Structure 1
Amino acid sequence: MVEFIIIAPLLLFVCFGTLQLVLLYQAKSTLDVAVLEAAREGAVNHGSMHAMRSGLARGLAPIYARQASAEGAAAALANAQADASNFSVITVLNPTPAAINDYAQPRYYPDEAATYTEIPNDSLMYRDASVPSTASSGMNIQDANILKIHVHYCYNMYVPLVNKVIYYAANVIGPIGTGGILTHEPARPDIDPYGFPKNGDALCKVKLADGIKTGRWPISLDSEAVVRMQSPVRASALNDSPNPTGD
């Protein structure tokens, strides 16, 4: 009995830690699929950031599913949409601004009575594959029609105790309360309410007092996806949904 009492806390922590790591692996795998879905949405919607964020939310919904019902699915999607808007940053790595400047041209759409500046996407296999001498991007028009995105996502860890320990370890938290990681930190709230994170992520960090109150302890996950554009890239569409700043 004495031996069990001594080892039980450590054993419980190891079990909780294993569970949280499994959930992290599941979240990363889900994120990889979600980012690909986001890229596919962008490919058929002129590179629209809004469309990519919607695709990302649909892909992330399984992480938030708690009930196997229509109501549970709707709630999961709503939570995923909120986190996709507030706790994810989508960066378009390609086409670059230089590529857009090289190849974008105005095109008039009679059915919309509107003109958009976009990179032509039709008949790519028949277009000249050489790089023009005037192209500052250093790529041809076929490469300019490749959409590559990077997603930085804050996953909320929710296994008790372990979530806080991993958050502290990932952010290399400095000075804390006198009683260690279970106290009401930070030690110097007048200077830094985030607890002096040495590697603090601008988006995926929380004020320690808020973390204790809400139980939200996020960790950053990253993923990338590459797809061929199925519609012309529009410079305006790439900025139709601003990323959160983390302020």
Structure 2
Amino acid sequence: MAEFIIIAPALLFVGFATVQFVLLYQAKSTLDVAVLEAAREGAVNNGSMKAMRAGLARGLAPIYARHADADGVAAAQAKAQADAANFSIITVLNPTQQAVQVFSQPRVYLDPSNPVMEIPNDTLMYRDSSMQNPAKMSVQDANILKIHVHYCYNMYVPLANKVIYYAANVIGSIGRMGILTTEPANLNKDPYGFPQNGDSLCKVKLADGIATGRWPLSLDSEAMVRMQSPFRMASANDSPNPTGN
């Protein structure tokens, strides 16, 4: 009995940590699929950031599913949309700003006095494939959409979530007055616990984390697809990324 009492807390923590790491693996796998879905949405919507964020939310919904019914699906989608809007950063890696400047052409749709600047997406096989330009790529390469997503996944397994958050951000020390305490001592001076590997989007004030149980960890993923519509920089800026804390 004495030996069990001594070892039980450690075994319990190992069990919690194992569950949390399994959930992290599931979240990363789901994020990979969600980012691909976001890229596909952007490919058919002129690189629209709003469309990509909607696709990301739709792909992330399984992470938030708690009940296998219509209400559970609706709740998961609502939570995924909120987190996709507030806790994810979508960065367009390609086409680059320089590629947009080099290849964008005005195109008239409805209003002749207001042409739309976009990278041509039609008859690509017949267009010049030369890379002799400031962008150092061809127009065919400029029609490849590549995005990077930085997403804050909320860990929710008790104890393990806080320990992993503190360890990942290098906050405090292990043991007495370390990761199991309510650091920092001065919340006004150091509300985030002075994370050495801090993330401006995924960090929380330690007092808020203790109160709400929200301990996020950043996950990253990339996806690349061929554009199915002309890329427009205006569309890529139609939904601003969150700025973080």
TM-score, L = length of structure 1: 0.95
Residues 175 and 195 of structure 1 are in contact (CA less than 8 Å); yes or no, is this contact kept in structure 2? no
Q: How far 1:70 sits from its partner (Å)?
A: 0.6
What do residues 161-181 of structure 1 show as CA deviations (whole Å, max 9, x unaligned)? 000000000000137996433
Q: Secondary structure at the match of 2:228?
A: coil
* 1:34-183 matches, cutoff 5 A: 34-110=34-110, 115-131=115-131, 133=132, 135-174=133-172, 179-183=177-181
Return the alpha-carbon distance in structure 2 between the equivalents of residues 14 and 21 of structure 1: 10
Residues 177 and 185 of structure 1 are in contact (CA less than 8 Å); yes or no, is this contact kept in structure 2? no
What do residues 204-240 of structure 1 show as CA deviations (whole Å, max 9, x unaligned)? 0000000000000000000000000000000100100
- Pairing 1:31–2:57 present: no
* 1:153-232 matches, cutoff 5 A: 153-174=151-172, 179-232=177-230
What do residues 84-142 of structure 1 show as CA deviations (whole Å, max 9, x unaligned)? 000000000000000000000110113898521000000111111112x3x21100000
Return the alpha-carbon distance in structure 2 between the equivalents of residues 113 and 18 of structure 1: 61
Number of equivalent positions: 245
State the superposition RMSD in angstroms. 1.7
**Structure 2: gaps (5+ residues):** none
- What is the identity, as a one-letter code, of the residue corresponding to 1:5? I
Return the alpha-carbon distance in structure 2 between the equivalents of residues 199 and 187 of structure 1: 20
The percent identity for this pair of structures is: 75
TM-score, L = length of structure 2: 0.96
Residues 94 and 146 of structure 1 are in contact (CA less than 8 Å); yes or no, is this contact kept in structure 2? yes
Q: Secondary structure at the match of 1:85?
A: helix
